[in-house]
Structure 1
Amino acid sequence: MSKLTSSQRFWISFILIIPMVIQMLAMPFHWMMPGYNWVALITTTLIMLVAALPYWTSAWAAFKHHNANMNTLVAIGTTIAYFYSLFAMITGRPVYFESAAFIAVFVLLGDTMEERMHNNASNALKKLLDLQVKSAMVLRDGQFVAVPLDQVQVGDIVQVKPGQKVPVDGVITSGQTTLDESMITGESMPVSKKAGDTVVGSTINGNGAIQFRVTKVGQDTMLAQIVEMVKKAQTSHAPIQNLTDKISGIFVPAVLIVAIITFVVWYSFLGATMVQAMLFAVAVIVIACPCALGLATPTALMVGTGRAAKMGVLIKDGQALEEINDVKTVVFDKTGTITVGKPTVTDIVGNPAEVLMVAASLETNSEHPLAKAVMKAAEEKQVAPQSVTDFATVEGKGVQATLNGQPAFVGNDKLLANGQITNDLQEKITTLQDEAKTVILVGLNKQVIGLLAIQDAPKPTSAAAIAALKTRGLRTVMLTGDNDRVAAAIAKQVGIDQVIANVLPNEKAEHVQALQQDGKVAFVGDGINDAPALTAANVGIAMGSGTDIVIESGSIVLVQNDLRGVVKALDISKKTFSRIKLNLFWALIYNLIGVPIAAGVFVGVGLQLSPEFAALAMAFSSVSVVTSSLLLNRVRIGNPAPAVQAE
């Protein structure tokens, strides 16, 4: 029986209870089922073994640890009603097997509703996994052949024709197309893809044929990671759940005390029979079962995190969902977060061929976005880099090496000694920086031979997202290693409140901690150097385009690489916790109203609850909380203004 689900136990018990329902319906007509007491005994015993056994087991486990939980009340209520009826049957008195049976069945009704919601959430995740194709067209010995998905390896070249699904994650090597990524990002508009762009497994190819190199397979793919993150989030606890647990820990013993007082008052002072007093006490125990209280938080968390995942916002746990609700300041990295992250060389001051040759030679092995921009410009100008020796990185300043026997450097003005920048050169630097361009100084033989101006434009959606955050009362800050002028120019374009520039990578976490003096801080970033700041923040939000270490450091991941996801996460958090508080309020109000009615306080005005109807009311309180949580799927998540081009 222990392997049966709540739904299976409910339907078995529902079938067993039918004879009692028939007898109850026949009572007004003064008809009594032959041998009804024996029928009631047998069916109630079976129902107790099927339905109530898990509650007894849970209550006993809690008792052994000197605790009491909501199952304690169910177990006590059904046990009292059952064994009293058994005693009454032996001694020839009226029996109340119906009370025990109906209590168990109606409690199971609430559990069945909760189980169904859990199953729906699990099925939704299963459907995501079912999106995966079973095979892929992989290049083998010069030909593309169908290979089972579990045999596809990192580095393989895969072909996807129009209309087919992308089997695994990778980077396009040839061809261009559009992909429907809605099952991953929640965005319905197809996304244009070309050589060098990433593709995600289970997305649907449009009208172009592509080939791509596999970068992730199996549990490392984005789809598998999304499923795992959502699973963890839906089974995690938010800090507010601790409050619920404390309330339940006090509430259950208090209810037992109230039930005892109810029995004593009715039996000793109000002239009720022992049976009547017992029924009042049992009704109190049953209606006060805090099932709705226990469901208030986890059901809302499950729905909230599930909806967030559908919108391309992966929330790793309940704590992150609760923390972002209280955030006062959102701090952004610049490159790749606010900006596109694909900087390009826009201006070259000096001899272009010489400047690019020196810069490319020193930046050949660097993974920094600015270095990639330099290498791309050199490639376009057909300037070949040369080998260097004594290469060294000067953190936060640039790089230096020996090129053709001469010292060379590429970096910012911090790398130079005083007096190396002439007034004319400084004027050019200032002009370029005022245009939101990052200036790289290129030097050879201790002399500045030229400048490279690199621009990384803001994403079209950044200004709208930041404006939306500000309308929600949040302060916005940009934390960047770039210089003051460039940082200020970008900040002005997107509407950032405060700029902290010239920050070395190891200083980002320190600045986040300083900002936490004014309240909780969320940090949004995408680079490896952002990992410490993501960890230091109350809520770390990683861009989906970031590296694995960044995504691991973040407690929220934006799959779409779009800052509007921060707004979505904030709104989902506020809606979810507003719903949790509403659930807790109604669960507590329900008990405050229901317990006095069950105790017989209003018998004088004809308001009374029998144990079985108390169980029904309790079950429907649980159903109402589950329904309230499910309505989160229909609540409008406020979208920021549409994407706009930065000024």
Structure 2
Amino acid sequence: MLATPVVFIFGRRFFISAFRQLRHGKAGMDTLVALSTGVAYFYSVAVMLLPTFWAKKGLPGHLYFESAAVVIAFILLGKLLEMRAKGRTAADIKKLMGAQPATATVLVNDQPQIIAVRDIQVGDQLLVKPGEAIAVDGAILSGRPLINESMVTGEAIPSQKESGDSVYAGTINENTAFTMRADKVGRNTVMASIIRLVREAQGSKAPIEQLVDKIAARFVAGVLCIALLTFFIWWAFGGPAELSRGIIAVVTVLVIACPCALGLATPAALMVGIGRGATMGILIKDAAHLQKLAGVTDIVLDKTGTLTLGKPVVQEGLWLDDDRDINAGYPKSAARLLAAIERSSQHPLAEAITSYAISVYGKDYSKNNDIDFDHNANAASYINSVFLPGLGVEATLGNDVYYVGNARLMAEKNIVVNAGSEKDVSPEKPVDFLTPMRHDLTAITSFLQAHTTHTIVYFAQKSAKDNRGTLLSVMALADILKPDALLTLQRLGHQGIGLHMLTGDNEAAAALVASQTGINRYLAGQLPADKLAYIKTLQTQGKSVAMIGDGINDSAALAQADISIAMSKGSHVAMDVAGMTIVGDQLSKIADGILLSRLTGKTIRENLFWAFFYNLIGIPIAAGILYPFTGFMLNPMIAGAAMALSSICVLAASLRLRYRKLK
């Protein structure tokens, strides 16, 4: 009553699969499970219904229902562990497709009309408003927007676009409306290409599945041959009198050879390894990644958000305030004013500049009336900021105008270095930006030369009574390395792993990070297709490649790589496509993950060895090889217990991974 539902309801999948394999002339692990449990069950039924028949033969009428039920239970446990180790793939494509807008604004005779994206034709003129996602690939016709291209390049800082520049579907318009021409629509856009590349890269079968299938096919075939040979030997040498012993020997062989330990050897170790990784902040979705990570030969890293923090930071500032003794300390009044201006700004660098200004004057005056300027205690409440596309920010305070922006803005506004200190400067004598006035020019020149790879932002003041402005500060902004980046790369290098860096950023920024980290192999300006091609090139050279990234632009390369790793603070699509996600963005966990993978691989090999060793010793004994010499015949119940014990040993060996030290 208890064994029947276990075998034929919960275990029906094995019988159905074995029948289908038989129809195609094949045999697998399901075949052996079905045979062993089926023979044990029906033999027990025969013993239960015909007890006198076995008694006349001088054989005990043992029942083996529990063996059949235990076999099914252990195999289903192994299947459960395997299913939990498998990852989802459908959600990846859905999230990528969700990045594309459903509608767009098309200009027809200069009149805006909202249509479905699928109806856009090549050559159509589109109007893209602030905050909207761009619907198709094309070129800007008018306007100078800031475009967040992290969908394609993965870079945190939005790009300033001019007329004629290319824009891509799925990227975001940050600040001002612009018009564009549709050049690529539908399946030809960059975002559609990323979706297609992810689908193709995810189509391959995990190597671990192929390995288990090959082992199971040979193992099952061998066990079936041994079982048949056992029966015919007992029949041939013992005659009809030993037929019952032959049947018991066959049942014992099939029970003891049931691949519980073999079925648990890999998934048990993988699941324990996955659990150990989770406690370390390494989330593993695909068990194949954990197994294959041990053999990685090369690691390809994205730059922004992976090696670096992924957001700009003011790394150094130079203050040139005339009214204060710079040697006595920072000009705190100017820094407070800069913070007040940037708080209300929508510029992508505003947060970084605000944080820097606050650090200069040492206190976050969050309320307007707390900002104490020398000339106006409540001046911040009168600040009127205007965003200047492609230039920076203009802020008006009383009779003074302040500018925060790039060198082009300074040149257009006739900003000079401490021009007020020179008596011969007048409105009739225009002064170019950074015209030599005092020793400050030398300091600025040295500052700029020391930060050629940084984004430079200037802060200046211009009085209404003076046509010339005065430069107050120069700041250098850049994305910085994560605190543990250098140490992690050194650890990986010591493990004999080749390091590569691919980034969508410019050559100067890439070269800076490469020099800081010691990575000799790097490429800048890489689009998603370029990263994917680079991964494939390494793979054709026989390399086992791990890809580490954090953006949607990395999704295709992550899916193509042998081992894919994403950072948890990056794109959700990258995390879903990747087989491993590093929680907390600590790069050091990558090296820990490799060590964990190697220990897991070692445990898997040990489990497989003992599983096969158990069968190598147990099957001949179950077949009755000792009977002619000692009269010993292995009882199927003992065989079932031995089978269960082998599975418990495999599980216990796998559980050791929880307590092994990662040296």
Structure 2 counterpart of 1:98: 62
Contact 1:327 1:520 in 2 (8 A): yes
Contact 2:55 2:61 in 1 (8 A): no
Structure 2 counterpart of 1:500: 523
1:387 deviates by: 2.9
Structure 2 counterpart of 1:328: 297
TM-score norm. by structure 2 comes to 0.57
1:280 deviates by: 1.9
Q: 5+ residue gaps in structure 1?
A: 1-45, 123-236, 393-398, 409-419, 639-647
Structure 1 counterpart of 2:274: 305
Structure 2 counterpart of 1:259: 227
Q: Secondary structure at the match of 2:584?
A: coil
Measured in 2, the distance between the counterparts of 1:529 and 1:252 equals: 45
- Cα 1:59–1:330, aligned 2, differ >3 Å: closer, same or farther? closer
Q: Secondary structure at the match of 1:609?
A: coil
> What does 1:131-210 correspond to in 2, within 5 Å?
none
The one-letter code sitting in structure 1 at the alignment partner of 2:62 is E
Whether 1:432 aligns to 2:473 is no
Structure 2 counterpart of 1:214: none
Measured in 2, the distance between the counterparts of 1:499 and 1:451 equals: 31
Contact 2:347 2:387 in 1 (8 A): no
Contact 1:331 1:524 in 2 (8 A): yes
The one-letter code sitting in structure 2 at the alignment partner of 1:373 is A
> What does 1:233-244 correspond to in 2, within 5 Å?
239-244=207-212
> What does 1:54-453 correspond to in 2, within 5 Å?
54=9, 57-67=12-22, 68-84=31-47, 86-89=49-52, 93=56, 94=58, 96-101=60-65, 103-104=67-68, 107=71, 110=74, 239-270=207-238, 273-347=242-316, 365=346, 367=348, 372-374=351-353, 376=355, 386-388=386-388, 429-433=448-452, 438-440=454-456, 452-453=475-476
Q: Secondary structure at the match of 1:65?
A: helix
- Cα 1:98–1:248, aligned 2, differ >3 Å: closer, same or farther? same
1:89 deviates by: 2.0
Contact 1:62 1:69 in 2 (8 A): no
Contact 2:67 2:255 in 1 (8 A): yes
Contact 2:603 2:653 in 1 (8 A): yes
Q: Secondary structure at the match of 2:297?
A: strand
Aligned with residue 614 of structure 1, among 636, 639, 646: 639
Q: What do the CA deviations read for 1:488-512 (whole angstroms, capped 9, x no partner)?
A: 4544444434333454677444444
1:314 deviates by: 0.9
Measured in 2, the distance between the counterparts of 1:111 and 1:626 equals: 13
Measured in 1, the distance between the counterparts of 2:49 and 2:655 equals: 41
Structure 2 counterpart of 1:566: 590
Measured in 2, the distance between the counterparts of 1:458 and 1:311 equals: 22
Higher gyration radius (CA): 2
Structure 2 counterpart of 1:600: 624
Q: What do the CA deviations read for 1:144-183 (whole angstroms, capped 9, x no partner)?
A: xxxxxxxxxxxxxxxxxxxxxxxxxxxxxxxxxxxxxxxx
Q: What do the CA deviations read for 1:407-442 (whole angstroms, capped 9, x no partner)?
A: 99xxxxxxxxxxx999x9998655335xxx624488
Contact 2:36 2:255 in 1 (8 A): yes
**Matched length:** 446
Contact 2:71 2:258 in 1 (8 A): no
Measured in 1, the distance between the counterparts of 2:251 and 2:555 equals: 56
1:633 deviates by: 1.0
Structure 1 counterpart of 2:25: none
Higher relative contact order (CA 8 A, sep 6+): 2
Structure 2 counterpart of 1:586: 610
Contact 2:33 2:72 in 1 (8 A): no
TM-score norm. by structure 1 comes to 0.58
Q: Secondary structure at the match of 1:97?
A: coil
Contact 2:345 2:387 in 1 (8 A): no
Measured in 2, the distance between the counterparts of 1:371 and 1:521 equals: 38
The one-letter code sitting in structure 2 at the alignment partner of 1:83 is A
Q: 5+ residue gaps in structure 2?
A: 23-30, 86-204, 322-333, 362-379, 393-404, 415-432, 436-441, 461-470
The one-letter code sitting in structure 2 at the alignment partner of 1:623 is I
Measured in 2, the distance between the counterparts of 1:614 and 1:506 equals: 56
Measured in 2, the distance between the counterparts of 1:59 and 1:550 equals: 36
Measured in 2, the distance between the counterparts of 1:545 and 1:323 equals: 24
Identity %: 32
Q: What do the CA deviations read for 1:103-153 (whole angstroms, capped 9, x no partner)?
A: 3466478569879x97xx99xxxxxxxxxxxxxxxxxxxxxxxxxxxxxxx
Q: What do the CA deviations read for 1:200-219 (whole angstroms, capped 9, x no partner)?
A: xxxxxxxxxxxxxxxxxxxx
Measured in 2, the distance between the counterparts of 1:50 and 1:438 equals: 70
The one-letter code sitting in structure 2 at the alignment partner of 1:62 is S
1:276 deviates by: 2.0
Structure 2 counterpart of 1:577: 601
Q: Secondary structure at the match of 1:289?
A: coil
Contact 1:389 1:402 in 2 (8 A): no
Contact 1:478 1:499 in 2 (8 A): yes
Q: What do the CA deviations read for 1:214-260 (whole angstroms, capped 9, x no partner)?
A: xxxxxxxxxxxxxxxxxxxxxxx953133223433443354233222
Contact 1:74 1:286 in 2 (8 A): yes
Contact 1:81 1:282 in 2 (8 A): no
Aligned with residue 465 of structure 1, among 488, 498, 520: 488
